[in-house]
């Protein structure tokens, strides 16, 4: 396992900790490559139901892309660094739920990575922002597209054009995070939700996530039609038979993921 990312297991939950606390867990090429490698491993590991992404130390989730790598880079170098597959897209389309456990500064590429996750849970000490404008840049990890989808165009304009940082409570009030909890409860509350989700049928979770992600690109008519197809597809699964049978027999379902 690479040292830039620590991997822990708790039941069916894999916790991935970006481990560059002295650099505020900034995303460099190494971290991005290692993250892709680990995501590839947990994608095929049937014992993992949910992934949680967090940052090492108490100060930062991720303070953005590693600014040190930008100095002197040509557009060609940068294009190569941003080649597919990109962690943001891999995470958004990952077949298992991914939760961002946001323990501190969540800036730039860090905020974009959090937005690529399915659910964001933040410590009350976390701070959010897209400060690229202060570097003569714009967000490059999907921020101009994912932020307005989460918080609306006006709030996204405010954050991206000003580069301002906002506290966790405000991030929640505009819809950038789903839950804010006291810092000392962050891990417990995140794992509580992660374990709850990981206990569901992995097959059905995958289909639910696919339907929800489709809502980001399809018209309402096409999305509802797609949902109907996926709903009916669930009728081919052993888990649908089991879920319905277990309800009728008043017992907990035993999922097999088939
Ligand atoms: N890239 C590279 N290094 C970073 C970094 C980043 N995005 N964010 C922080 N660091 C480094 C600092 O350079 C410093 O390294 P050093 O000790 O070797 O000098 C270390 O992390 C600690 O950061 P520091 O700035 O001293 O901490 P702070 O508490 O005063 O401020 C931040 C924290 C997050 C507000 C500040 O570091 C910051 O503004 N970071 C850049 C955020 C940003 O613009 N992100 C978008 C990038 S596109």
Q: What CATH number corresponds to the domain at position 215?
A: 1.10.12
Among residues 177, 104, 86, the alpha carbon closest in space to that of 140 is found at: 86
Q: Pocket residues for ligand 1 (CB within 6 Å)?
A: 23-24, 26, 63-68, 105, 107-109, 131-132, 135
Final residue belonging to a domain, choices 165, 181, 198: 198
Asked, for residue 156, whether it belongs to a domain, the answer is yes
Asked, for residue 206, whether it belongs to a domain, the answer is yes
Q: What is the mean pLDDT for each group of 10 consecutive residues in the chain (258 residues)?
A: 90 98 98 98 98 98 98 96 97 98 98 98 98 98 98 98 98 98 98 98 98 97 98 98 98 97
**CA 119 – CA 175 distance, rounded (Å):** 11
CA angle 199, 122, 9 (to 5 degrees): 40
pTM of the model: 0.97
pLDDT the model gives residue 226: 98
Do 222 and 158 belong together in one domain?
no
Asked, for residue 256, whether it belongs to a domain, the answer is no
β-strand pairing of 105-107 with 60-62: parallel
Do 47 and 137 belong together in one domain?
yes
Do 133 and 76 belong together in one domain?
yes
**CA 252 – CA 115 distance, rounded (Å):** 33
**CA 239 – CA 257 distance, rounded (Å):** 6
Whether the link from the prior residue into 85 is cis, omega within 30° of 0, is yes
Do 9 and 35 belong together in one domain?
yes
**Both tokens of residue 156?**
């996204």
Asked, for residue 142, whether it belongs to a domain, the answer is yes
pLDDT the model gives residue 1: 61
**CA 213 – CA 127 distance, rounded (Å):** 26
Paired residues of 127 in beta bridges: 105, 167
**CA 199 – CA 164 distance, rounded (Å):** 39
Do 38 and 79 belong together in one domain?
yes
Do 123 and 176 belong together in one domain?
yes
**Both tokens of residue 38?**
């680990």
* Residue located nearest, by CA, to atom 15 of ligand 1: 23
Do 110 and 214 belong together in one domain?
no
Centroid of ligand 1 to alpha carbon of 63 (angstroms): 6
CATH at 13: 3.90.226.10
**CA 70 – CA 207 distance, rounded (Å):** 38
Asked, for residue 62, whether it belongs to a domain, the answer is yes
Centroid of ligand 1 to alpha carbon of 4 (angstroms): 17
With contact defined as beta carbons under 8 Å apart, do 108 and 132 qualify?
A: yes
Handedness of CA 96, 195, 118, 210 (dihedral sign): positive
**CA 22 – CA 56 distance, rounded (Å):** 9
> Which are the catalytic amino acids?
112, 132
Asked, for residue 253, whether it belongs to a domain, the answer is no
Asked, for residue 254, whether it belongs to a domain, the answer is no
Do 70 and 141 belong together in one domain?
yes
Among residues 202, 240, 180, 211, the alpha carbon closest in space to that of 51 is found at: 202
**CA 97 – CA 197 distance, rounded (Å):** 8
Do 50 and 177 belong together in one domain?
yes
Total domain count, the chain: 2
Mutate which of 24, 25, 108 for ligand 1 pocket (most atoms within 8 A of beta carbon): 24
Do 116 and 220 belong together in one domain?
no
* Residue located nearest, by CA, to atom 10 of ligand 1: 23
Centroid of ligand 1 to alpha carbon of 26 (angstroms): 8
Do 115 and 229 belong together in one domain?
no
Do 121 and 239 belong together in one domain?
no
Q: DSSP assignment, residue 69?
A: G
Q: In which domain, by residue range, is 12 found?
A: 5-198
């Amino acid at each position: 396992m690479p040292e830039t990312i620590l991997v822990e297991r708790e039941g069916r939950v894999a916790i991935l900790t970006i481990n560059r606390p002295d650099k505020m867990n900034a995303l460099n090429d190494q971290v991005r490559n290692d993250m892709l490698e680990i995501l590839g491993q947990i994608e095929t590991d049937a014992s993992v139901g949910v992934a949680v992404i967090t940052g090492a130390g108490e100060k930062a989730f991720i303070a953005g892309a590693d600014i040190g790598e930008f100095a002197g880079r040509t557009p060609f170098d940068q294009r190569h660094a941003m080649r597919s597959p990109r962690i943001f897209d891999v995470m958004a389309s990952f077949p298992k739920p991914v939760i961002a456990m946001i323990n501190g500064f969540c800036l730039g590429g860090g905020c974009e990575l959090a937005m690529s996750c399915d659910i964001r849970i933040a410590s009350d000490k976390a701070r959010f922002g897209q400060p690229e404008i202060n570097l003569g840049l714009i967000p490059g990890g999907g921020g101009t597209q994912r932020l307005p989808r989460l918080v609306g165009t006006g709030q996204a304009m405010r954050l991206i054009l000003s580069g301002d940082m906002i506290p966790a409570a405000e991030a929640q009030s505009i819809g950038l995070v789903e839950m804010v909890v006291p810092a000392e409860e962050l891990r417990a509350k995140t794992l509580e939700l992660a374990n709850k989700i990981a206990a569901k049928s992995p097959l059905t979770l995958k289909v639910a996530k696919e339907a929800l992600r489709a809502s980001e690109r399809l018209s309402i008519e096409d999305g509802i039609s797609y949902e109907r197809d996926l709903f009916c597809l669930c009728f081919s699964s052993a888990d649908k038979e089991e879920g319905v049978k277990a309800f009728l027999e008043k017992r907990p379902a035993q999922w097999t993921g088939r």
